[in-house]
C-alpha cells in the first residue's frame, strides 16, 4: 500500500514537473513514533503514530487496533490522509496510528488501559492544534472517549477538540457514523452527473458490506431509490439477485451479526467474492480491503465504473488496465473522504462551541465532496488524464498553494 501511495504521488509530481527534491519531500514523513505499551498485568503491545505532513494544518487520522498492523501500512495510510485532506481542501494534514493487538482478546478494563496508555505515550505530540486523532478499524467512540479523558487529564485542556469520533454526549457530531458511506453516495452521484451519464437509475454491487458499505447502501436507498443493489459480500460469500436485493433487509441481517452464507431468500443466490467482482453491473464498489483488485483478477471486471470506498483496493497497474478499457476508477482519496470531512466539522464545532445539526453537517459534507469531484473532473479533462491521477494532482497543487 505504501508503494502504491508513493507511485501515485510520483506520477502526479511528474505531471506537475516537480523536482526529485520536491517529490521526496512529499514522500517522507515528518515524524514517526514507535513505542511499547505495557499493561499492569504485564502484557505488552507495539504502538505506532506516523505524522506525515502538517503543511495545511494539524495532522489528522485514525488509530486502528489490529493484530496485523504494520509500520509501513501506517505510513501509507498517513500519506493518504495528507492527500485526502489536501484534495478536499481542509485545513488539516495527514497522520495515522495503530496498535498491534487483537482487541477481542482483551477484557474491557484491558482495552481501556491500552487506550489510555496509547495517549500517555503520545501526549507531547498530539492535541487540537498538533495532531487530532479519530477512530479507525476496531476503535470506536468508547475508545475515543477514554482517550479524550486521558488527554485532558494530562494536559488540562477541556474543549474536546483533541480527538474526533467522540460519543454525542462527549462533543461528538451528528452523522459521523454514516459520513463515509454518505460521502461515497455524493461522490458517485456528482461524478455521474458531470459525466452526463444519467445517474437516476443504476445497478451496483458492493464488495465488503461492513460499516462503510452498509451505510453507503442505506444512504443510497434514501437519496437515490432507483439505484439497485444487486450484490453484496462479506469476507466469505456474496448475496446476489439480478432483480435487486432487499437493501433494508440485508442491512438488518448484517447488523444482527448474520453471515451472507446463511442468508435465506428464494430470490437470492449465494455466490463467491470472485463472482461478485465479475458481475455485469453499472458500478462496482470496493469497500473491503486494500489490494482487492490486482493484475490477477482485473480482467474479470465488467462494471462500467469502479469506486474505491476502501483505502487502496485497486493496484496502480490494475487501475491503468481499467482506464485503458474505458472503466474509470473513482479514487479512494475522494470517494471515502466523507469521514474526514465530518471529523473536520466536529473539530471545528468543538473549537467554536457551536453545535451543528445533522442536516447542517450533511449540507456541508455535500459542498466539500461536490467541489472535490468537480475539480477532479475538470483536471482530468484539461490534462487528459485519469480521474485518479487528476485527484492526486489536485492534492499536490493544494499542498503547494498552502504557503
For 188-249, the DSSP string reads HHHHHHHTT---SSEEEEEE--SHHHHHHHHHHHHH-TTEEEEEEE-SSEEEE-TT---HHH
Choose between 282 and 308: whose C-beta lies nearer to ligand NAD.
308
- Number of CB atoms found within 10 A of residue 383's CB: 13
Residue nearest ligand NAD, CB atom distance: 210
Choose between 113 and 177: whose C-beta lies nearer to ligand NAD.
177
CB of 115 to ligand NAD, least distance (A): 18
CB of 292 to ligand NAD, least distance (A): 7
List of long-range contacts for 259-265, beta carbons under 8 Å, 24+ apart: 259/234, 260/209, 260/232, 260/233, 260/234, 260/236, 261/236, 261/237, 263/239, 265/239, 265/241
Query: What are the strands of the beta sheet with 237-240, ordered from one edge?
Result: 269-272, 237-240, 227-233, 202-207, 283-286, 305-308, 329-330
| Cell numbers that stand for 324 in this block | 485503458
Q: Yes or no: say if 400 and 117 are a contact pair by the CB < 8 Å rule.
A: no
Distance CA 145, CA 112 (A): 10
| SS3 state at 64 | strand
CB of 214 to ligand NAD, least distance (A): 8
Q: Give the max Cα distance, the chain.
A: 61
Calculate ∠ Cα 141-143-147, nearest 5°: 110
Q: Cell match 514517526: residue?
A: 32
Beta-sheet pairing, 94-100 with 44-53:
antiparallel
User: 268-297 burial, b if ≥16 CB within 10 A, otherwise e?
Assistant: bebbebebbbbbebbbbbbbbebebbeeee
Beta-sheet pairing, 329-330 with 237-240:
unpaired
Choose between 328 and 339: whose C-beta lies nearer to ligand NAD.
339
Choose between 109 and 248: whose C-beta lies nearer to ligand NAD.
248
Q: Yes or no: say if 309 and 286 are a contact pair by the CB < 8 Å rule.
A: yes
| Cell numbers that stand for 135 in this block | 477512530
Residues that bind ligand NAD (CB under 6 A): 180, 207-213, 233-235, 273, 287-289, 309-311, 336, 339
CB of 391 to ligand NAD, least distance (A): 15
CB of 120 to ligand NAD, least distance (A): 26
Choose between 272 and 317: whose C-beta lies nearer to ligand NAD.
272
Choose between 180 and 321: whose C-beta lies nearer to ligand NAD.
180
CB of 324 to ligand NAD, least distance (A): 25
CB of 74 to ligand NAD, least distance (A): 12
Which residues are the active-site residues?
A: 96
Choose between 13 and 181: whose C-beta lies nearer to ligand NAD.
181
Amino acid at each position: 500500500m505504501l508503494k502504491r501511495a508513493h507511485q501515485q504521488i510520483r506520477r502526479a509530481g511528474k505531471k506537475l514537473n516537480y523536482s526529485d527534491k520536491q517529490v521526496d519531500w512529499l514522500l517522507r514523513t515528518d515524524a514517526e513514533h514507535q513505542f511499547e505499551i505495557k499493561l499492569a498485568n504485564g502484557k505488552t503491545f507495539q504502538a505506532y503514530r506516523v505524522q506525515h505532513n502538517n503543511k495545511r494544518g494539524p495532522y489528522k487520522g485514525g488509530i486502528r487496533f489490529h493484530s496485523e498492523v504494520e509500520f509501513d501500512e501506517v505510513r501509507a495510510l498517513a500519506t493518504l490522509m495528507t492527500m485526502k485532506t489536501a484534495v478536499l481542501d481542509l485545513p488539516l494534514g495527514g497522520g495515522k496510528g495503530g496498535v498491534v493487538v487483537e482487541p477481542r482478546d482483551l477484557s474491557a478494563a484491558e482495552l481501556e488501559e491500552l487506550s489510555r496508555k496509547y495517549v500517555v505515550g503520545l501526549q507531547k505530540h498530539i492535541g487540537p492544534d498538533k495532531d487530532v486523532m479519530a477512530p479507525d478499524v476496531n476503535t470506536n467512540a468508547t475508545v475515543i472517549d477514554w482517550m479524550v479523558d486521558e488527554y485532558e487529564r494530562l494536559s488540562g485542556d477541556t474543549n474536546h477538540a483533541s480527538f474526533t469520533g467522540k460519543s454525542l454526549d462527549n462533543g461528538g457530531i451528528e452523522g459521523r457514523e454514516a459520513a463515509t458511506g454518505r460521502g461515497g453516495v455524493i461522490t458517485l452521484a456528482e461524478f455521474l452527473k458531470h459525466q452526463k451519464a444519467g445517474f437516476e437509475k443504476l445497478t451496483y454491487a458492493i464488495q465488503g458490506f461492513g460499516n462503510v458499505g452498509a451505510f453507503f447502501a442505506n444512504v443510497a436507498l434514501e437519496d437515490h431509490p432507483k439505484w439497485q443493489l444487486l450484490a453484496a459480500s462479506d469476507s466469505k460469500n456474496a448475496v446476489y439477485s439480478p432483480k435487486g436485493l432487499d437493501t433494508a433487509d440485508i442491512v438488518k441481517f448484517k447488523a444482527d451479526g448474520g453471515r451472507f452464507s446463511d442468508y435465506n431468500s428464494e430470490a437470492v443466490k449465494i455466490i463467491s467474492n470472485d463472482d461478485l467482482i465479475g458481475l455485469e453491473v453499472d458500478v462496482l464498489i470496493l469497500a473491503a480491503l486494500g489490494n482487492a483488485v490486482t493484475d490477477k483478477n482485473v480482467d474479470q471486471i465488467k462494471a462500467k465504473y469502479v469506486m474505491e470506498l476502501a483505502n487502496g483496493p485497486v493496484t496502480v497497474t490494475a487501475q491503468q488496465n481499467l482506464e485503458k478499457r474505458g472503466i474509470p476508477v473513482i479514487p479512494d482519496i475522494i470517494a471515502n473522504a466523507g469521514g474526514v470531512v465530518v471529523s473536520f466539522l466536529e473539530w471545528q464545532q468543538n473549537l467554536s462551541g457551536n453545535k451543528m445539526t445533522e442536516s447542517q453537517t450533511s449540507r456541508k459534507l455535500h459542498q466539500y465532496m461536490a467541489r472535490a469531484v468537480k475539480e477532479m473532473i475538470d483536471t482530468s479533462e484539461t490534462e487528459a488524464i485519469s480521474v485518479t491521477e487528476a485527484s492526486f494532482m489536485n492534492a499536490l497543487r493544494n499542498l503547494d498553494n498552502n504557503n
